[in-house]
Structure 1
Amino acid sequence: MEVVGRLLGLLALLLVGTGLRTSGVLDTGRTARLNAVAYYVALPALIFISTYDRAIGDLLSATLLVGSLFVLFATVGLAWLVHRNRDSRPRQSVAIVQSYHSNLGYLGLPLVVATFDADVAAIASVVLGIVSLTQVPLTVLILVSVTGSETRIVREFAGLFTNPVLLALLAGLGVGSSSATVPPLAVSVLDIVGAFALPLALLCVGASLEIDLPEIDFGASGSVVALKIVCMPLLAWLVFSVLSVDEATFTATVVMFGTPTAVSTFVFANELGGDEQFASLNVFVTTLVSIASLFVLITLVS
């Protein structure tokens, strides 16, 4: 019942964000500022606090690296096969990237931290780093190649090196792998700040998205949901079962790959010639459906 209550709370926050946008409380400017607080403050604090007391050798293994990348690229291949014949290239590009690009930072890691123990949370932080470093440049390349968009790819890739999420992960693993210590007061403050990552992110998701029902492509959106919410976590379950990883690694990877499509795919679609309305719809729908699917996953792995 505790998991049910937590996931229903996530749904409530998502709908509150939508309501605040509709009422005008969260306009574009306020949503952007709220998003900045979540992305540059709360989420990095959560990542650091999950990894600062653990050595990198205890968390990052060849099995975790290879397994995570296999799940990611296998899903990319399936998405390409499923969506390769779509008439609209902007829609095709978005459908492909949204079938694999996971919301690991805004939803995955905060949910894992709130639901499982510290061992699982630490592994989830590493999964976030591995997959984010891969899926972000991959998404940019696919959008640019399919849509023919003219953009400065070097600029997009350079953004990875100033990504606060990845910097926080490196900082946490650096401290954990050294003899450095973090003052207890700083740990307490970061713990409090990190607790706001999930609610802030959900409010931003709800406030950022709009749906035009007459324009819904049920076939395309249904395929995205099936690949992202069903196929990807199932593939992770099979791969990490075959690899015979420990319980913490299995739990972290399955739940993280079961997260919905990342909000950032909407931003990338808007900047790189994708179908932004279609992207907006898919982020909302996969997030909504994942409330139920994550309950199933969490129940099974628990």
Structure 2
Amino acid sequence: MELVGRLLGLLALLLAGTALRAVGVLDETRSERLNAFAYYVALPALIFVSTYDQSVASLVTPALFAGHSFVLLATAGVAWAVHRGRGERAERSVAIVQSYHSNVGYLGFPLIAATFDARVTAVAGVVLGVVSLVQVPLTIAVFVSVNEADVPLRREATQLVANPVLLSLLAGLLVGAGDVGVPAGVAGGLDAVGSLALPTALLCVGASLDVDVPSVDAWSTGTVVALKVVFMPVLAWLVFRGLASDAATVTASVVMLGTPTAVSTFVFAGELGGDTEFASLNVFASTVASVATLFSLVALVG
């Protein structure tokens, strides 16, 4: 019952974000400021306090990197086969990308931090870094190849290297590797700021959700949702069980890859020739569907 209450709370915050946007409280300017706080302050703080006191050698393993790379590429390959030759290029590229591009930062990692113990949360921090390093370049490659988009690769590479999520993960791992003590006051302050990551992110996601019912392509959207929140986490479970990974790695991997389509895919679609209306619809549909599927996943691996 506690898990049900937690997930219903997630849904309530999502809907609250949508409602606040509808009444004008979360207008474009306020939404951008709230998003910046979540992305540049709260989430990095949460990642750092979750990793700085953990053993680097036990967190970063070849199997972790190989397993997540395989799941991402395999899901992208299935999506490519399913959507090949269907619809316009702009819609097809979005369908492929949104079938694997997970909301590991805004939803996955904060959800795990609020639900599981410190070990699972620390592994999830590494999973966040690995998935980000793989899925962002993969998403750019898919959009460029399908839409024949012209993209400044140097700019994208710079943004990836300067990603605050990756920088805070690196800082936490380095502090952990060097056995550097963090003052209790600093750690407590960062922990308090990090606790705001999940509610802030959910409000931001809710404020960004939009759907135009008359334009719904039920088959395409249904396929994207099924691949993202059902096929991908099941594949992750099979892969990491097959690799004989420990329970913390299996739990973190399955839940992180079971998150809905990332809101950032809407931004990528706008920049790289994708169908933004279709992208917005899929973000909405996968987020709503994930409330039920995440409950099942957490109950299964928890």
Q: In the alignment, what sits opposite 1:291?
A: 291
Alignment of 1:60-99 (within 5 A): 60-99=60-99
1:209 aligns with 2:209: yes
Q: In the alignment, what sits opposite 1:277?
A: 277
Once the two structures are superposed, residues 29-81 of structure 1 have per-residue CA deviations (whole angstroms, 9 ceiling, x without a partner) of: 11111100000000000100110001311101111111111111111111110
Listed as ranges, the gaps of 5+ residues in structure 1 are none
Measure the CA separation in 2 of the matches of 1:296 and 1:116: 15
Aligned amino acid, residue 288 of structure 1 = V
Task: Compute the displacement of 1:189 (Å).
Answer: 0.5
Aligned amino acid, residue 163 of structure 2 = N
Give the CA RMSD over aligned residues: 0.8
Q: Pick which of 202-211 and 41-50 moved more.
A: 202-211
Measure the CA separation in 1 of the matches of 2:131 and 2:117: 21
Q: In the alignment, what sits opposite 1:50?
A: 50
Task: Compute the displacement of 1:151 (Å).
Answer: 2.1
Measure the CA separation in 2 of the matches of 1:138 and 1:40: 23
Q: In the alignment, what sits opposite 2:219?
A: 219
Contact 1:13–1:199 (CA under 8 A) maintained in structure 2: yes
Measure the CA separation in 2 of the matches of 1:158 and 1:144: 18
Task: Compute the displacement of 1:158 (Å).
Answer: 1.5
Contact 1:55–1:178 (CA under 8 A) maintained in structure 2: no
Contact 1:205–1:284 (CA under 8 A) maintained in structure 2: no
Contact 1:126–1:169 (CA under 8 A) maintained in structure 2: yes
**Secondary structure in structure 2 of the residue aligned to 1:259:** coil
Q: In the alignment, what sits opposite 1:185?
A: 185
Q: In the alignment, what sits opposite 1:163?
A: 163
Once the two structures are superposed, residues 146-192 of structure 1 have per-residue CA deviations (whole angstroms, 9 ceiling, x without a partner) of: 11222212211221111000000000000000031111001001101
**Secondary structure in structure 2 of the residue aligned to 1:87:** coil
Alignment of 1:25-36 (within 5 A): 25-36=25-36
**Secondary structure in structure 1 of the residue aligned to 2:193:** helix
1:129 aligns with 2:159: no
Task: Compute the displacement of 1:199 (Å).
Answer: 0.7
Once the two structures are superposed, residues 235-280 of structure 1 have per-residue CA deviations (whole angstroms, 9 ceiling, x without a partner) of: 0111111111111111111111111101110111111110011111
Q: Count matched residues.
A: 302
**Secondary structure in structure 2 of the residue aligned to 1:20:** helix
Aligned amino acid, residue 183 of structure 1 = P
Measure the CA separation in 2 of the matches of 1:35 and 1:86: 34
Contact 1:14–1:202 (CA under 8 A) maintained in structure 2: yes
Q: In the alignment, what sits opposite 1:117?
A: 117
Aligned amino acid, residue 128 of structure 2 = L
Measure the CA separation in 1 of the matches of 2:87 and 2:277: 16
Measure the CA separation in 2 of the matches of 1:184 and 1:256: 29
Alignment of 1:248-287 (within 5 A): 248-287=248-287
**Secondary structure in structure 1 of the residue aligned to 2:41:** helix
Aligned amino acid, residue 32 of structure 2 = A
Measure the CA separation in 1 of the matches of 2:188 and 2:194: 10
Measure the CA separation in 2 of the matches of 1:5 and 1:288: 16
Aligned amino acid, residue 191 of structure 2 = D
Q: In the alignment, what sits opposite 1:237?
A: 237
Contact 1:52–1:174 (CA under 8 A) maintained in structure 2: yes
Task: Compute the displacement of 1:87 (Å).
Answer: 2.2
**Secondary structure in structure 1 of the residue aligned to 2:72:** helix
Measure the CA separation in 1 of the matches of 2:290 and 2:145: 29
Q: In the alignment, what sits opposite 1:139?
A: 139
Aligned amino acid, residue 156 of structure 2 = E
Listed as ranges, the gaps of 5+ residues in structure 2 are none
Measure the CA separation in 2 of the matches of 1:84 and 1:195: 42
Q: In the alignment, what sits opposite 2:19?
A: 19
